[in-house]
Amino acid sequence: MSFVPDRYCRQSLLPEIGQTGQRRLNESRAVIVGLGALGSCVANNLVRAGVGQVVLIDRDLVELHNLQRQILYSEDDLNVPKAVAAAAILKKINTSVEVETHTKDFNVSNAESLLAGADVVLDGTDNLQTRFLINDVCVKHTIPWVYAGAVGTGGMVMPILPGKTPCFRCLVPSQPGPGVLQTCDIAGVLNTIPSLIASLECTLAYQILTGQPDVGDKTSYLVHVDAWRQTFDRMSVGQRADCPCCREGRFESLDAVSREMITSLCGRDAIQITPAAQMEIPLPELEMRLSRLGEVRLTPYMLTFRSGKEEFSIFRDGRAIIKGTKDEATARSLYARYIGL
């Protein structure tokens, strides 16, 4: 990839970055897990800043309610995979950046391969299970990452440098019980807070990539922002002596037994099913089989199928999103009936 100094002249004028820092950004590889409100803002910033390789990972499709806050998408992108829609825009923004896309569910079967070679990982997820998995991979392979979250009118960020700072499990030792955590589905989200948190998250990534992380020895910090109340709080975070991950080297999320994963999607009347084994479904053959049973549409990246009240989005790797139900048993039965796995 060629270096284009004029594009970044206002950024490289900053003493915090300079020509050397800009070149380091240009030669870096950043991975974004999740391309919702946070992830889409993060991707936009990284590509405009000239981070040389930007990897996009997201399992989901663009929906109408996303457009209130997810800045890379428009009405033309409805029902298109977010990674595909985002890449199309990002490649127009900066042709000198290499944009890599993965329309996959990030899970234990692929997490290490998807994050391999990253200089930094950025959090665009909406659940703790995925963050625990990111943390396991990054601590195991000594990959810096930035935790971030946004819900309601507030959000938070924390830089994590394995071997130097506390890890995410030091901050959140275990999964809270049901109903404890707020979600966008319950609390809503102000559309200014994701861009604000994403800006802080990207700034932390720039510090990491240019070799200037603002962390201490075995300490880090959590910044909490409330956009509505205009408040910023910075809290010190120390390493837990009994942390199972960064102190004891136990990677519980990575060591989970491989199994079929059934997930109720946040804020949607839908269930996602991810097969335990990696596979490649011949979508044209499945299209022929399902065309006798209902309305089918094949695209380069997925197949959609509707029969009565049932609607499927089926991806090449066997993953399916089944709309119109919140019942896992019903979704699994429909998956077996129509996909046959």
Tell me the pairing of strands 310-315 and 320-323: antiparallel
Number of C-alpha atoms within 13 angstroms, CB side, residue 190?
Answer: 13
C-beta of residue 90 within 8 angstroms of C-beta of residue 57? no
Domains assigned to the chain:
5-238 (3.40.50.720), 261-339 (3.30.310.10)
What is the per-residue pLDDT across 204-241, written as a single tens digit (0 to 9) for each? 999 999 999 988 778 899 999 999 999 999 999 999 99
10 Å Cβ neighbour count for 191?
A: 13
Average pLDDT of the residues in 108-137: 94
- How much is the pTM? 0.81
The rounded distance, in Å, linking the Cα atoms of 84 and 62 is: 10
- Mean pLDDT of the residues in the chain: 89
- Confidence tier at 188 by pLDDT (50, 70, 90): confident
Catalytic positions, written as ranges: 184
- Which pLDDT score is estimated for 113? 97
Alpha carbon 183 to its chain's center: 16
Decide if pLDDT at 179 tops 50: no
Closest among 106, 123, 267 to 183, alpha carbons compared = 267
- Which pLDDT score is estimated for 280? 80
- Which pLDDT score is estimated for 147? 98
What is the per-residue pLDDT across 58-89, written as a single tens digit (0 to 9) for each? 988 898 989 999 999 999 999 899 999 999 99
Adjacent-strand bridge partners of 98: 53
The secondary element (H helix, E strand) that includes residue 208 is helix 193-209
| The two three-digit tokens of residue 136, written as one number | 């396991």
Question: Is 106 in a helix, a strand, or coil?
Answer: coil
Query: Which residues have C-beta within 8 Å of that of residue 17, sequence separation ≥ 6?
Result: 11, 25, 206, 210
Question: Is 125 in a helix, a strand, or coil?
Answer: coil
